[in-house]
Amino acid sequence: MCKDFERVMKSEFEMSAMGKLSFFLGLQVDQKKDGIFIHQTKYVNDILERFKMTDAKSIATPIPVNHQLGAVVDSDEPVDPTLHRAMIGSLMYLTASRPDIMFAVCICSRFQADPRASHLSAVKRIFRYLKGRPKLGIWYPSEGDLDFVAYSDADYGGCNLTRKSTSGGYQFLGGRIVSWQCKKQTSVANSTCEAEYVAAGNCCSQVLWIQQQLRDYGLNFTNTPIMVDNESTISITNNPVKHSKTKHIEIRHHFIRDCAEKCLIHMVKVHSDYNYADLFTKAFDRSRFDFLLQANGMRNPE
């Protein structure tokens, strides 16, 4: 069928067959017998050279554990916004294959309107991290099942400026990460439970979209588990009677209940240590950070 398609396309258009996919829009695809490895090593080296960070000292994590990015002090001098935005834009494109820097880039991108020296320093730290791990990518093994699982988490009041929480989530298909999200919530949550509930709603939306895409390939996934580490979030989803605790949550997030009633998803309690969506909501030391990278299927090429 591939040969027939190639012949038809060549007869209608001026085209040529380039063989197996190996490079596309900055994404490098290494196809092997036991799986596929996707990375952006060349792109990492290009942006390190572009922003003169090739000689920078490498560092183990993209963002410090107790980062204080937020409130601006008088001693924090303004920096060139064009440079700051160019660096952020380059990093945002890199998140297509590097979920390890997703949270750090999400934090740094909030200060593009009025960047200061501390913000530029945080962005340069991400480049220093890339200097030490330029070849890191995502491994997709060819063998395995096709279980569809999602993880959701929230960092309650994580923004030092607005005290808005950060939603994080990612979706696994057969033990392979296929989608991930990290975004500051649009409203201030009044409790940890509310922040987790909003994050679970965002994760549910992504799950429904992936379910719809998989139907085009004849794969019908229902009752997808969403792993959360907050018991109250599960209780609110399964028991809408708690009006005093839930009426202040925006109505648009309550559709997760309908999805649960229709058996499109169901909430599952997972211990915080094994909630892999932590990678998109918090900063960690090297040991915890490396554990989450391995759990998310990230590694260096062999």
Q: Where are the domains of the chain?
A: 39-132, 144-270
Query: What distance in Å separates the CA atoms of residue 41 and residue 49, rounded to the nearest whole number?
Result: 13
Under-70 pLDDT residues of the chain: 71-74, 240-248, 252, 302
* The predicted structure's pLDDT at residue 25: 84
**What tokens appear for 150 in the block?**
């999602």
Burial class (CB in 10 A: 0-12, 13-18, 19+), 43: buried
Say yes or no: domain 144-270 is CATH 3.40.50.300: no
* The predicted structure's pLDDT at residue 26: 83
Rama region for 26: left / alpha / beta (φ>0; ψ in -120 to 50; rest): left
Query: What distance in Å separates the CA atoms of residue 200 and residue 178, rounded to the nearest whole number?
Result: 17
DSSP reduced 3-state for 72 = coil
Provide the sign of the torsion angle of the four alpha carbons 83, 186, 63, 268, taken in this order: negative
* The predicted structure's pLDDT at residue 246: 66
Answer yes or no: are the C-beta atoms of 284 and 61 closer than 8 Å.
yes
* The predicted structure's pLDDT at residue 83: 92
**What tokens appear for 50 in the block?**
């572009």
Q: What are φ and ψ of residue 33, in 5° steps?
A: -65, -35
* The predicted structure's pLDDT at residue 241: 63
Crossing angle of helices 231-238 and 192-215, rounded to 10°: 60
* Strands annotated E in the chain: 23-24, 27-32, 35-39, 137-141, 148-155, 166-173, 176-184, 224-228, 265-269, 298-299
Pairing of strands 27-32, 35-39: antiparallel
The residue type found at 175 is: G
**Global confidence as pTM:** 0.85
Stated length of the chain = 302
Query: Measured between alpha carbons, how far apart are the two ends of the chain, in Å?
Result: 32
* The predicted structure's pLDDT at residue 15: 83
Answer yes or no: are the C-beta atoms of 253 and 76 closer than 8 Å.
no
**What tokens appear for 6 in the block?**
């190639």
- Residue among 277, 266, 268 at smallest CA distance from 204: 266
Q: How many helices (H) and strands (E) does the chain have?
A: 10, 10
* The predicted structure's pLDDT at residue 255: 81
* The predicted structure's pLDDT at residue 73: 64
